[in-house]
Amino acid sequence: MAEFVMPQLGADMTSGKLLRWRKNVGDRIQRGDVIADVETDKADIEVEVFTTGVIEKVLVQPEEKVPIGTVMAIIREEGKAAAVAVPPVSAVPAIALVPAPPTIAAPTVSAPSSPAEMGGPRLHISPVARKLAADLGIDPVTVTGTGPGGRITMEDIEHAAQAKKAPPVAEATLDRAARMRQIIAAAMTRSKREIPHYYLSTTIDMSRALAWLTQENLKRSVEQRLVYGVLLLKAVALALREIPELNSVWSNGKVMQCPDVNVGVAVSLRGGGLVAPALHHTDHLSIDDLMKNFSGLIQRARAGSLRSSELSDPTITVTSLGEQGVEAVFGIIYPPRSHSSASARSRNIHGRPRGRSHRGPC
């Protein structure tokens, strides 16, 4: 038997609301099938399953909001029982190809559900506080302990729960975009606090690429034209394939290289907010497929129909603000990713068109 749990679709997600089941008890499912729609503070997500088998039992009903990791369904596996698929730990970078507000140009940090799982220091929390946190859907990692030696006590969790509940009015009136802002702010703060950032910057000659793009687009119909950002995505993906050490995430206390290059694209949402879903196998896609997938991804992100794997497995985040006239971007890493890449505007220096690229720590 395998458990289908509420996935963590982004480091900043602590709980999700089941909108609907796409499959019923008794249905045969394949690894990769979308079996549920889940609402997070950021978007409505189509959640895929990582197990092939038959749905044995459904434990969560639509409209229920449950903490990440909550078992939502039991799946009777087919064939080898060993196939308890854990969602891939890969994480791809997001490229802010779409104008993203510069203030959020950076990716976030993750709140692992259990620090022990992430290989970090063991969480200092009392047993009853741990239980209460699970009951109330509070991520203990976000709570500051006031007990002896900084232990998180039951009272700390109660306070956190009150604080979370306190703006119930506010929560009702806050739209998703506003909530997303809060989450992004919290996640960015954590990232900057916990991940030692450093930045490298170099100047890249973009003249040939831009010339090629201009020529290429002249030959294409309006619908088929390529955007500049797609070239950046492809370039970053190829660079990662060349230097696989950078195509890695920080997981269980160590650097893990990811087999696939999944570049995350930062997409600004209407009404504010930002998501960074992954373009799978970015390095293997032709420029046309990349453009097609890229457009599709943005449309789906804005329509709120992203898939769970797209949200959880980018391996690098790319931010591109060049078209906004930005000259330099220093991003913030979105855990568990180990680095991010940013590119700024192409400009003419001494008659030569140039671009600039920065890379964060790896």
Can residue 154 be called a binding residue for other proteins (CB under 8 A)? yes
Lookup: tokens for 160? 């956190």
- For 122-148, b/e burial (b = at least 16 CB within 10 A) is ebebbeebbebbbeeebbbbebebeee
Can residue 151 be called a binding residue for other proteins (CB under 8 A)? yes
The alpha carbon of 263 is separated from its chain's Cα centroid by a whole number of angstroms, namely 11
Can residue 129 be called a binding residue for other proteins (CB under 8 A)? yes
Tell which one of 88, 99, 126, 164 touches other proteins (CB under 8 A). 126
* Among 89-97, 99-107, 153-161, 278-286, the segment contacting other proteins (CB under 8 A): 153-161
* Among 83-91, 142-150, 161-169, 295-303, the segment contacting other proteins (CB under 8 A): 142-150
Give the number of other CB atoms < 10 A from CB of residue 160.
Answer: 21
Q: What backbone torsions phi and psi does residue 235 show, to the nearest 5 degrees?
A: -65, -45
33: CB partners within 8 A, 6+ apart: 22, 23, 48, 49
Can residue 320 be called a binding residue for other proteins (CB under 8 A)? no
Number of residues engaging other proteins in binding (CB under 8 A): 13
Can residue 138 be called a binding residue for other proteins (CB under 8 A)? no
Min dist CB 154 to other proteins, Å, is 4
Q: Helix, strand or coil for residue 56?
A: strand
Q: Helix, strand or coil for residue 268?
A: strand
Residue nearer to other proteins on the CB measure, 123 or 290: 123
Site string for other proteins, 88-117 (x = CB under 8 A): ------------------------------
Min dist CB 114 to other proteins, Å, is 16
Residue nearer to other proteins on the CB measure, 120 or 147: 147
Helix intervals (H) in the chain: 127-136, 154-165, 168-173, 176-194, 207-219, 228-242, 287-303, 308-312
Residue nearer to other proteins on the CB measure, 88 or 147: 147
Asked whether the CA dihedral 242, 248, 32, 22 is positive or negative, the reply is negative
Can residue 127 be called a binding residue for other proteins (CB under 8 A)? yes
* Among 78-86, 125-133, 283-291, 346-354, the segment contacting other proteins (CB under 8 A): 125-133
Can residue 146 be called a binding residue for other proteins (CB under 8 A)? yes
* Among 72-80, 100-108, 145-153, 288-296, the segment contacting other proteins (CB under 8 A): 145-153
Task: Give the binding site for other proteins (CB under 8 A).
Answer: 126-131, 146-148, 151, 153-155
